[in-house]
Amino acid sequence: MNLGTACYCPPRGVLNSDAFYENITKAKAHHPLFLFSDDARWNPSQLIQWPEFSGKRPGWTINNFLFFKSLEIARAAKLDYYIFLESDSRVFGEAWDDIVFTEYFQRYPNGIACAGTPVCWDVCSGGREFAKKVIAEAFAFQTATGIPMSFFSGKNPMDCSGAAYYPNGSLAVYQTEALLKIFAGFDLDIVSYSRRITAFDLALGRALWNYHGPKAVEHVGWLSACYSAYGNCVTTEAERLQMLRDGRMAAIHQCKSDSRP
> What pLDDT digit, counting tens, does each position of 96-136 carry?
999 999 999 999 999 999 999 999 999 999 999 999 999 99
Read off the pTM.
0.98
Distance, CA of 205 to CA of 198 (rounded, Å): 11
SS3 (DSSP) at 175? strand
d(CA 224, CA 243): 11
- Measured in degrees and rounded to the nearest 5, phi and psi for residue 37 equal -160, 165
State which H helix or E strand residue 81 sits in.
strand 81-85
Residue 161: pLDDT over 90: yes
What is the domain class of 3-253 according to CATH? alpha beta
Q: Is 45 exposed, middle or buried (0-12, 13-18, 19+ CB in 10 A)?
A: middle
Q: Domain ranges in the chain?
A: 3-253
Q: Is 200 helix (H, G, I), strand (E, B) or coil?
A: helix
Distance CA 186, CA 173 (A): 19
**Whole-number percent of the chain with pLDDT over 90:** 98
CA distance 133 to 140: 11
Burial class (CB in 10 A: 0-12, 13-18, 19+), 135: middle
Residue of 254, 247, 248, 99 whose CA lies nearest to 173:
99
Rounded CA-CA distance 76/128 in Å is: 41
Give the pairing type, strands 220-222 and 118-121: unpaired
Question: Residue 72 has what pLDDT?
Answer: 98
Q: Note the pLDDT tens digit of each residue in 209-260.
A: 999 999 999 999 999 999 999 999 999 999 999 999 999 999 999 999 999 9
Q: What is the pLDDT of residue 55?
A: 83
Residue ranges in 123-186 assigned as alpha helix (H):
128-145, 176-182
- Residues, the chain: 261
- The per-residue pLDDT for 54 is 82
C-alpha 46/C-alpha 11 separation (Å) is 13
